Amino acid sequence: MFKVDQIDHVELFVPDRFEAAKWYEKVLGLSIVERYKHWSEHPKGPLMVSSDDGSTKLALFTGTPQGTRETAGYHLVAFRVSGENFIRFLQRCDDELELINHNAEKLHSKLFSDHGQAFSIYFNDPFGHRLEITTYDHEFVRGKI
């Protein structure tokens, strides 16, 4: 029976791939995957960033957030973290990160959502892409917030 192993990458269109990579590194800890960096030498090639050495990646392309291809796009990209890292991210929302959500509200640690089995917090990158940090360590997080 056929099944996929995992999501390989999600394509995002940004005005400047390297500036976007800096933002994704600062906010989410994603770094450029060196073994694929040569793809970015082509103006239409992606700059690949990842937190797990390239198993799952964001492919940053130069263009508008709506993209330059005739596709429907996506609603958001969710990043899974441990309960401890979810709490750390909430703290960073108050202390160092200046993020906004899709309602143009400044993100702070109280704007999380409790889904009963998971917690999530939603925000935008500077280019308008909707992002989510989520954890399934519900009991751990519930005891900390």
Tens of pLDDT, residue by residue over 40-60, are: 999 989 999 999 999 999 999
**Count of domains for the chain:** 2
The parent domain of residue 32 ranges over 9-62
Share of the chain above pLDDT 70, in %: 93
pTM attached to this predicted model: 0.85
Strand partners, 119: 114, 135
Non-local CB neighbours of 118 within 8 Å, separated by 6+ positions: 134, 135, 136, 138
Do 85 and 58 sit in the same domain of this protein?
Answer: no
Same domain, 83 and 40: no
Give the mean model confidence (pLDDT) for residues 103-118: 94
pLDDT, position 46: 95
Q: Are residues 54 and 81 in the same domain?
A: no
| pLDDT higher than threshold 90 for residue 1 | no
Give yes or no: residues 14 and 43 share one domain: yes
Q: Residue 4 domain-assigned?
A: no
53 belongs to a structural domain: yes
Task: Clarify whether residues 57 and 99 are in a common domain.
Answer: no
In angstroms, rounded to a whole number, what is the distance separating the alpha carbons of residues 58 and 81? Answer: 16
Q: Do 57 and 81 fall within a single domain?
A: no
* 26, HSE (Cβ side, Cα atoms, 13 Å): 13
Q: Quickly state the pLDDT bin for 6 (edges 50, 70, 90).
A: confident
- Which pLDDT score is estimated for 8? 92
DSSP string, 48-96: EEESSTTSSEEEEEES-TT-SSSS---S-EEEE--HHHHHHHHHHHHHT
Asked if 88 and 121 sit in the same domain, the reply is yes
Q: Taking residues 95-100, what's their average pLDDT?
A: 94
Q: What is the CATH number of the domain that holds 32?
A: 3.30.720
Element (H or E) spanning 139, and its range? helix 138-142
User: Is residue 105 in some structural domain?
Assistant: yes
pLDDT exceeds cutoff 90 at 66: no
> Does 57 lie in the same domain as 85?
no
